[in-house]
């Protein structure tokens, strides 16, 4: 069973779909790290777990976005078309 019909479809998926899947896979891990490190501090400041969770979710989305951008730039340096 062949998933991709041709090489161009595979390359398009690798450029667009793979970073999205990596972001989805790493978001829970980043959430656990942020929740363990920043959760108690934010809870003491706000006094509400709902507000703390909302803040952590926003921080996780931002961190995931920036990490994917950094990895994309690093990948472009190694796999540029100039080689």
Spell out the per-residue pLDDT of the chain, length 83, in tens: 477 777 777 777 777 677 778 888 999 999 999 999 999 999 999 999 999 999 999 999 999 999 888 887 877 777 666 54
What's the token pair of residue 80?
């540029």
34 CB burial (10 A radius; 0-12, 13-18, 19+) = middle
- Predicted model pTM: 0.72
């Amino acid at each position: 069973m062949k998933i991709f019909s041709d090489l161009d479809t595979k390359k398009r998926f690798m450029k667009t779909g793979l970073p999205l899947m990596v972001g989805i896979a790493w978001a829970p891990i980043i959430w656990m790290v942020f929740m363990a490190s920043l959760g108690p501090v934010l809870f003491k400041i706000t006094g509400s777990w709902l507000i703390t969770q909302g803040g952590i979710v926003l921080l996780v989305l931002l961190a995931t976005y920036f990490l994917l951008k950094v990895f994309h730039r690093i990948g472009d340096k190694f796999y540029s078309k100039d080689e």
